[in-house]
Amino acid sequence: MNVVTACAICRNPSTVRVHPGCQERLTDNLAALPALYRQLAEHLAPSRRGDSGRTGSRTAPLPVNERVLDLRARGGIEGVVTTWERAAREDLGWDEPPFRGDIQQTVDGAVAFLLAQVPWFCDSHDAVDELAHDVRRLRAECGAIIGGEKPPRRIPVACPCGTVLRVTLDTPGIRCGGCETQYGHAEVFQLPMAERSAA
């Protein structure tokens, strides 16, 4: 029998160090960052949607979206991913990251590095939950600015084993990371809703 402990990312019961689903989500969020970085460039000026009926502002200069500037600057998205890359390289006893070029290229390179190391982070890094949190927060923030590409809402349902599963309405099914039960789409929605937990 497998020993049930807590997932190092979501803290729900788990027989493995990190739920496969939590690892997948981390990979997914990381992989989204380079494209989000590019898309942010189109959002440096605040959206004018909804202003079409106004006439007085036509000549006023549009303020630059400061938050987008920050996210695209050195120390923004770049700062988060390179900080994690440096920490990982230090733990692994590897050389410092190579010079990769401009900020965009640095983001691409650091994300590629981190993606390759996701299994290592999940198997052994003490702060994998912080990495997951940083990456999720960045993706959510970029998504909120870019709009229209928000991840679908996830509904928490409770497996009888105590694990909370977060599912989307169109989920094809899910495997419980706690007890390894495989649920089909219809079965998922027969599970009781989980109480709101501190997410």
Binding residues vs Zn ion (CB under 5 A): 7, 9-10, 19, 22, 159, 161, 163, 176, 178-179
Residue 79: burial class (beta carbons within 10 Å; 0-12, 13-18, 19+) = middle
How far apart are CB 61 and Zn ion at their closest, in Å? 47
Question: Do 163 and 13 contact (CB within 8 A), yes or no?
Answer: yes
The residue (of 103 and 132) whose beta carbon lies closer to Zn ion is 132
Question: How far is it, in rounded angstroms, from Cα 40 to Cα 194?
Answer: 35
User: Smaller CB distance to Zn ion: residue 82 or 163?
Assistant: 163
Instruction: Provide the minimum distance between the beta carbon of 66 and Zn ion in the complex, in angstroms, as a whole number.
Output: 35
CB of residue 30 to Zn ion, shortest distance in Å: 16
Rounded Cα gap, residues 4 and 2, in angstroms: 6
Dist CA 76 CA 69 (whole Å): 8
Give me the residues paired with residue 165 across strands. Answer: 157
The distance of closest approach from Cβ of residue 97 to Zn ion in the complex, given in angstroms and rounded to an integer, is: 28
Q: Which is nearer to Zn ion, 60 or 199 (CB)?
A: 199
Q: Which is nearer to Zn ion, 105 or 168 (CB)?
A: 168
